[in-house]
Amino acid sequence: KPVLNRAQFHTSVAQLRDLPYSRAEVAFAGRSNAGKSSAINLLTRKNRLAFTSKTPGRTQLINFFVLEPDTYLVDLPGYGYAKVPPEVKAKWEGLLSRYLQGREALVGMVLIMDARHPLTPLDRQMLEWFAPTGKPVHILLSKADKLSNNEKALTLRRVKAELAEQTNVSVQLFSSLSRLGADEAAALIEHWLSA
Ligand code: GDP
Protein backbone atom coordinates (compact mmCIF):
# COMPACT_ATOMS: atom_id res chain seq x y z
CA LYS A 1 0.00 0.00 0.00
CA PRO A 2 1.29 3.51 -0.81
CA VAL A 3 2.82 5.49 2.03
CA LEU A 4 4.02 8.72 0.38
CA ASN A 5 0.56 10.27 0.58
CA ARG A 6 0.54 9.78 4.35
CA ALA A 7 3.47 12.13 4.98
CA GLN A 8 3.30 14.35 8.04
CA PHE A 9 5.93 16.62 9.52
CA HIS A 10 7.78 14.83 12.31
CA THR A 11 10.92 16.65 13.44
CA SER A 12 13.89 18.82 12.45
CA VAL A 13 17.40 17.72 13.32
CA ALA A 14 20.62 19.77 13.55
CA GLN A 15 22.98 17.04 14.68
CA LEU A 16 23.38 13.39 13.83
CA ARG A 17 22.93 12.30 17.42
CA ASP A 18 19.38 13.67 17.30
CA LEU A 19 18.28 11.51 14.35
CA PRO A 20 15.08 9.59 15.15
CA TYR A 21 14.99 5.82 15.25
CA SER A 22 14.11 4.64 11.75
CA ARG A 23 13.56 1.38 9.95
CA ALA A 24 13.61 2.84 6.43
CA GLU A 25 13.90 6.33 4.98
CA VAL A 26 14.36 8.03 1.60
CA ALA A 27 16.31 11.29 1.45
CA PHE A 28 15.68 14.19 -0.94
CA ALA A 29 18.64 16.39 -1.80
CA GLY A 30 19.32 19.22 -4.21
CA ARG A 31 20.59 22.72 -4.80
CA SER A 32 18.39 25.37 -3.28
CA ASN A 33 15.78 26.44 -5.83
CA ALA A 34 16.14 23.22 -7.85
CA GLY A 35 12.50 22.39 -7.11
CA LYS A 36 12.96 19.98 -4.20
CA SER A 37 10.08 21.30 -2.08
CA SER A 38 7.73 21.32 -5.06
CA ALA A 39 8.74 17.74 -5.89
CA ILE A 40 8.14 16.56 -2.30
CA ASN A 41 4.78 18.32 -2.20
CA LEU A 42 3.71 16.72 -5.48
CA LEU A 43 4.93 13.22 -4.62
CA THR A 44 3.27 13.27 -1.20
CA ARG A 45 0.17 15.03 -2.56
CA LYS A 46 0.45 17.51 0.27
CA ASN A 47 0.43 20.98 -1.18
CA ARG A 48 2.47 22.77 1.42
CA LEU A 49 4.23 19.96 3.24
CA ALA A 50 7.85 20.61 2.31
CA PHE A 51 7.53 24.35 2.72
CA THR A 52 7.71 23.50 6.41
CA SER A 53 11.39 22.89 5.71
CA LYS A 54 11.71 26.46 4.44
CA THR A 55 10.38 28.22 7.49
CA PRO A 56 12.98 30.41 9.21
CA GLY A 57 15.38 28.35 11.29
CA ARG A 58 14.70 25.10 9.44
CA THR A 59 16.55 25.63 6.15
CA GLN A 60 19.87 24.26 7.45
CA LEU A 61 18.26 21.34 9.27
CA ILE A 62 17.43 17.79 8.26
CA ASN A 63 13.63 17.64 8.20
CA PHE A 64 11.82 14.36 8.83
CA PHE A 65 8.35 13.53 7.54
CA VAL A 66 6.83 10.34 8.89
CA LEU A 67 5.14 8.05 6.33
CA GLU A 68 4.27 5.17 8.63
CA PRO A 69 5.71 4.14 11.96
CA ASP A 70 9.55 4.15 11.74
CA THR A 71 9.46 5.08 8.04
CA TYR A 72 10.43 8.55 6.84
CA LEU A 73 10.86 10.91 3.95
CA VAL A 74 13.89 13.05 4.76
CA ASP A 75 14.30 16.56 3.36
CA LEU A 76 18.00 17.44 3.39
CA PRO A 77 19.07 21.10 3.51
CA GLY A 78 19.32 22.75 0.09
CA TYR A 79 22.85 23.63 -0.92
CA GLY A 80 24.63 26.09 -3.18
CA TYR A 81 23.62 29.40 -1.69
CA ALA A 82 25.74 32.09 -3.33
CA LYS A 83 27.30 33.41 -0.15
CA VAL A 84 27.64 31.01 2.74
CA PRO A 85 30.22 31.68 5.44
CA PRO A 86 32.97 29.00 5.35
CA GLU A 87 32.06 27.73 8.83
CA VAL A 88 28.43 27.19 7.76
CA LYS A 89 29.59 25.37 4.64
CA ALA A 90 31.94 23.16 6.67
CA LYS A 91 29.16 22.30 9.11
CA TRP A 92 26.80 21.49 6.25
CA GLU A 93 29.40 19.29 4.56
CA GLY A 94 30.12 17.40 7.77
CA LEU A 95 26.46 16.82 8.55
CA LEU A 96 25.49 15.77 5.03
CA SER A 97 28.47 13.54 4.29
CA ARG A 98 28.20 11.72 7.62
CA TYR A 99 24.43 11.32 7.26
CA LEU A 100 24.68 9.98 3.70
CA GLN A 101 27.54 7.61 4.46
CA GLY A 102 26.54 6.41 7.90
CA ARG A 103 22.77 6.28 8.06
CA GLU A 104 21.82 2.63 8.06
CA ALA A 105 18.08 3.16 7.61
CA LEU A 106 18.63 5.22 4.47
CA VAL A 107 17.49 3.09 1.51
CA GLY A 108 18.08 5.56 -1.32
CA MET A 109 18.60 9.19 -2.30
CA VAL A 110 16.45 11.24 -4.64
CA LEU A 111 18.63 14.02 -6.09
CA ILE A 112 16.79 16.93 -7.66
CA MET A 113 18.56 18.93 -10.36
CA ASP A 114 17.21 21.76 -12.45
CA ALA A 115 17.07 20.20 -15.93
CA ARG A 116 18.56 23.39 -17.34
CA HIS A 117 21.66 23.16 -15.09
CA PRO A 118 22.26 19.52 -14.18
CA LEU A 119 25.32 18.04 -12.44
CA THR A 120 26.79 21.10 -10.76
CA PRO A 121 29.97 20.53 -8.71
CA LEU A 122 27.89 20.23 -5.52
CA ASP A 123 25.55 17.70 -7.17
CA ARG A 124 28.62 15.65 -8.06
CA GLN A 125 29.86 16.02 -4.49
CA MET A 126 26.60 14.52 -3.20
CA LEU A 127 26.95 11.58 -5.62
CA GLU A 128 30.55 11.09 -4.55
CA TRP A 129 29.69 11.01 -0.85
CA PHE A 130 26.89 8.51 -1.43
CA ALA A 131 28.56 6.19 -3.94
CA PRO A 132 30.55 4.15 -1.36
CA THR A 133 27.29 3.00 0.27
CA GLY A 134 26.25 1.17 -2.90
CA LYS A 135 22.68 2.37 -2.30
CA PRO A 136 20.59 3.63 -5.22
CA VAL A 137 20.34 7.26 -6.34
CA HIS A 138 17.45 8.47 -8.48
CA ILE A 139 17.93 11.82 -10.23
CA LEU A 140 14.92 14.00 -11.04
CA LEU A 141 15.70 16.49 -13.82
CA SER A 142 13.20 19.03 -12.57
CA LYS A 143 11.36 21.91 -14.25
CA ALA A 144 11.40 19.85 -17.46
CA ASP A 145 8.36 21.86 -18.55
CA LYS A 146 10.80 24.67 -19.32
CA LEU A 147 12.49 22.58 -22.02
CA SER A 148 11.32 21.76 -25.55
CA ASN A 149 10.84 18.09 -26.36
CA ASN A 150 14.11 18.16 -28.22
CA GLU A 151 15.98 19.71 -25.27
CA LYS A 152 14.37 17.20 -22.90
CA ALA A 153 15.66 14.26 -24.92
CA LEU A 154 19.12 15.82 -25.29
CA THR A 155 19.43 16.63 -21.58
CA LEU A 156 18.35 13.17 -20.51
CA ARG A 157 20.80 11.57 -22.92
CA ARG A 158 23.67 13.84 -21.84
CA VAL A 159 23.16 13.28 -18.11
CA LYS A 160 22.85 9.53 -18.58
CA ALA A 161 26.06 9.51 -20.62
CA GLU A 162 27.91 11.50 -17.96
CA LEU A 163 26.84 9.02 -15.29
CA ALA A 164 27.39 5.89 -17.36
CA GLU A 165 30.29 4.78 -15.14
CA GLN A 166 28.22 5.03 -11.95
CA THR A 167 26.35 2.01 -10.74
CA ASN A 168 23.00 2.35 -9.00
CA VAL A 169 22.19 5.75 -10.50
CA SER A 170 18.98 6.26 -12.48
CA VAL A 171 17.73 9.45 -14.15
CA GLN A 172 14.36 10.76 -15.33
CA LEU A 173 12.71 13.97 -16.46
CA PHE A 174 10.39 15.57 -13.94
CA SER A 175 8.07 18.54 -13.62
CA SER A 176 6.08 19.52 -10.59
CA LEU A 177 4.14 21.91 -12.78
CA SER A 178 3.00 19.41 -15.44
CA ARG A 179 3.34 16.29 -13.21
CA LEU A 180 5.68 14.82 -15.83
CA GLY A 181 7.35 11.76 -14.35
CA ALA A 182 5.53 11.96 -11.03
CA ASP A 183 4.04 8.46 -11.19
CA GLU A 184 7.37 6.94 -12.20
CA ALA A 185 9.22 8.66 -9.35
CA ALA A 186 6.57 7.79 -6.76
CA ALA A 187 6.53 4.15 -7.81
CA LEU A 188 10.30 3.84 -7.44
CA ILE A 189 10.31 5.46 -3.99
CA GLU A 190 7.45 3.24 -2.82
CA HIS A 191 9.43 0.26 -4.11
CA TRP A 192 12.56 1.31 -2.21
CA LEU A 193 10.60 1.69 1.01
CA SER A 194 8.80 -1.62 0.69
CA ALA A 195 11.82 -3.75 -0.25
P1 GDP B 1 13.68 24.18 -3.57
O2 GDP B 1 14.42 25.39 -3.08
O3 GDP B 1 14.60 23.20 -4.23
O4 GDP B 1 12.83 23.54 -2.52
O5 GDP B 1 12.73 24.67 -4.77
P6 GDP B 1 11.16 25.04 -4.80
O7 GDP B 1 10.34 23.81 -4.88
O8 GDP B 1 10.84 26.02 -3.73
O9 GDP B 1 11.11 25.75 -6.23
C10 GDP B 1 11.92 26.87 -6.54
C11 GDP B 1 11.21 27.69 -7.63
O12 GDP B 1 11.08 26.92 -8.82
C13 GDP B 1 9.80 28.11 -7.23
O14 GDP B 1 9.56 29.39 -7.76
C15 GDP B 1 8.92 27.06 -7.91
O16 GDP B 1 7.64 27.55 -8.22
C17 GDP B 1 9.70 26.76 -9.18
N18 GDP B 1 9.48 25.38 -9.62
C19 GDP B 1 9.61 24.26 -8.88
N20 GDP B 1 9.32 23.17 -9.61
C21 GDP B 1 8.99 23.60 -10.85
C22 GDP B 1 8.60 22.95 -12.07
O23 GDP B 1 8.48 21.71 -12.19
N24 GDP B 1 8.38 23.75 -13.15
C25 GDP B 1 8.51 25.10 -13.11
N26 GDP B 1 8.29 25.80 -14.23
N27 GDP B 1 8.85 25.75 -11.98
C28 GDP B 1 9.10 25.02 -10.86
CB-side exposure of 77: number of CA atoms within 13 Å?
A: 25
Indicate if the pLDDT at residue 81 is higher than 90.
Answer: no
pTM beyond 0.95: the answer is yes
7-40 per-position pLDDT tens digit: 999 999 999 999 999 999 999 999 999 999 999 9
User: What is the distance between the alpha carbons of residues 99 and 47, in angstroms, rounded to a whole number?
Assistant: 27
Q: Is 119 in the pocket of ligand 1 (CB under 6 A)?
A: no
Q: How far is CA 174 from CA 58, 59, 79, in A?
A: 26, 23, 20
The interface predicted TM-score (ipTM) is 0.99
Nearest to 121 by CA among 80, 170, 60: 80
Structure confidence by residue, pLDDT tens digits, 153-164: 999 999 999 999
Average pLDDT over residues 117-135: 96
Pocket test for ligand 1, best of 38, 40, 47, 174 (most atoms within 8 A of CB): 38
Output the pLDDT for position 89.
Answer: 85
What pLDDT shows up at residue 83? Answer: 75
Q: What is the DSSP letter of 117?
A: S
> What average pLDDT does the chain have?
94
Asked whether 158 lines ligand 1 (CB < 6 A), one says no
Task: Say if residue 53's pLDDT is above 80.
Answer: no
115-135 as b/e: b if 16+ CB within 10 A: beebbbeebeebbebbbebeb
Mean pLDDT of 74-102: 89
Confidence of residue 58 (pLDDT cuts 50, 70, 90): confident
